[in-house]
C-alpha cells in the first residue's frame, strides 16, 4: 500500500476525514476516546475576538493560544488531525469578519509562504486549509521566501526577529493593492511583522492582520467583544 504521506495533499485530507468517521479517534484537545473533539474542548474553540497591537500592526484573533485551544491547533498543524479543522475554521472566519467589518474597497488576504520541508512533513498547508474550510477567498500568493530560516519554535524572542528579518519579499509590484495578513498563531509576531514589511516594501498597503490564535502574553484577559456580539473589536483611543 502507498503510504498516506505520499498521497497528494487534498486527497490525503479527504482520506483522513473519511477515516475519522470509521475509526475510533481521541479528542484532539484532551485525549478522551472516541470523539474527534469532545463537547468541553469544542466549547473552548468558541471565537472571542481579541484585538492586539503587534508593532504597528492591528491584529484580530479569535482564540487565546492556551489550554485545549492550543492543543487542538497543534494537533491540526503537526499531528495530521485535519478532522478538527472545521471548528478552527469557524473561529478564524469570525476573526476575519471582525477585521473586515466597516472596511471599504477591496482587501486581499495574504499569507506567509510556508517552507517546503514543512509541507512535505505535513502533507498540507494549515493556513490554506483553514481559509478554504472557512469559505474565505484564496490568499494572494504575493510573498516569497528569500532564504531559508531556522524553525521559529526553536528560537527565543530576540532571535526570532533576527532570523526572519529580510527573509521575505514581494513577488510582484503591489502598488495600489491592500492586504490583510492571515496566519494561524501569533506568538512574538515576528513573522507577521516581516510579512508586513515585505508587502510595504513592494508598494502594497497592509490594513492589519488576522490570526486564529494569539499567545496569552499578547491578548487581554477579557475579550474585546462578547462571543456572540458579532461587532468589530473595540479599540482604546
Cα–Cα dist 91/85, whole Å: 10
Indicate the burial class of 210 (C-beta count within 10 angstroms; 0-12, 13-18, 19 or more). Answer: buried
Q: Which residues bind Zn ion (CB under 5 A)?
A: 27, 29-30, 32, 38, 41
Q: Name residues whose C-beta falls within 8 Å of residue 10's C-beta, 6 or more positions apart in sequence.
A: none
Q: Which is nearer to Zn ion, 30 or 46 (CB)?
A: 30
Count the Cβ atoms, other than its own, within 10 Å of residue 229.
13
Q: For residues 91 and 210, which CB has a smaller minimum distance to Zn ion in the complex?
A: 91
| Smallest gap from residue 44 Cβ to Zn ion (A) | 8
- The minimum distance between CB 28 and Zn ion, in angstroms, equals 7
Q: Residue 69 Cβ, how far from Zn ion at the closest point, in Å?
A: 11
Nearer to Zn ion, 27 or 195 (CB): 27
Residues with Cβ within 8 Å of residue 237, at least 6 apart in sequence: none
Q: How far is the CB of 187 from Zn ion (least distance, A)?
A: 23
Q: Residues 6, 52: contact at Cβ < 8 Å?
A: no
Place of cell 497528494: 8
Minimum CB distance to Zn ion, residue 126 (Å): 20
Please, which residue, 29 or 223, has the CB nearer to Zn ion? 29
Hey, what's the cell of 163? 532570523
Pick 35 or 178: Cβ nearer Zn ion: 35
Q: Look up residue 65 and give its three cell numbers.
A: 493560544
Give the side-chain half-sphere CA count within 13 A for 14: 5
Amino acid at each position: 500500500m502507498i503510504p498516506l504521506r505520499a498521497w497528494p495533499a487534498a486527497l490525503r485530507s479527504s482520506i483522513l476525514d473519511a477515516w475519522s468517521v470509521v475509526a475510533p479517534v481521541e479528542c484532539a484537545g484532551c485525549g478522551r476516546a472516541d470523539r474527534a473533539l469532545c463537547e468541553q474542548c469544542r466549547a473552548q474553540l468558541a471565537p472571542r475576538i481579541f484585538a492586539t497591537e503587534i508593532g504597528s500592526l492591528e491584529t484580530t484573533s479569535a482564540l487565546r493560544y492556551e489550554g485545549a485551544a492550543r492543543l487542538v491547533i497543534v494537533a491540526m498543524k503537526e499531528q495530521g488531525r485535519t478532522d478538527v479543522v472545521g471548528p478552527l475554521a469557524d473561529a478564524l472566519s469570525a476573526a476575519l469578519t471582525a477585521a473586515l467589518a466597516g472596511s471599504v474597497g477591496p482587501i486581499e488576504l495574504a499569507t506567509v509562504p510556508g517552507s517546503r520541508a514543512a509541507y512535505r512533513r505535513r502533507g498540507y498547508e494549515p493556513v490554506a486549509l483553514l481559509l478554504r474550510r472557512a469559505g474565505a477567498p484564496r490568499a494572494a500568493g504575493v510573498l516569497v521566501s528569500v532564504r531559508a530560516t531556522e524553525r521559529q519554535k526553536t528560537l527565543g524572542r530576540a532571535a526570532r526577529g533576527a532570523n526572519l528579518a529580510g527573509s521575505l519579499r514581494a513577488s510582484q509590484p503591489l502598488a495600489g493593492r491592500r492586504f490583510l495578513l492571515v496566519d494561524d498563531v501569533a506568538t512574538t509576531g515576528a513573522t507577521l511583522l516581516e510579512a508586513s514589511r515585505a508587502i510595504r516594501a513592494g508598494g502594497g498597503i497592509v490594513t492589519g492582520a488576522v490570526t486564529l490564535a494569539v499567545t496569552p502574553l499578547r491578548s487581554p484577559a477579557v475579550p474585546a467583544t462578547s462571543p456572540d456580539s458579532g461587532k468589530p473589536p473595540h479599540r482604546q483611543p
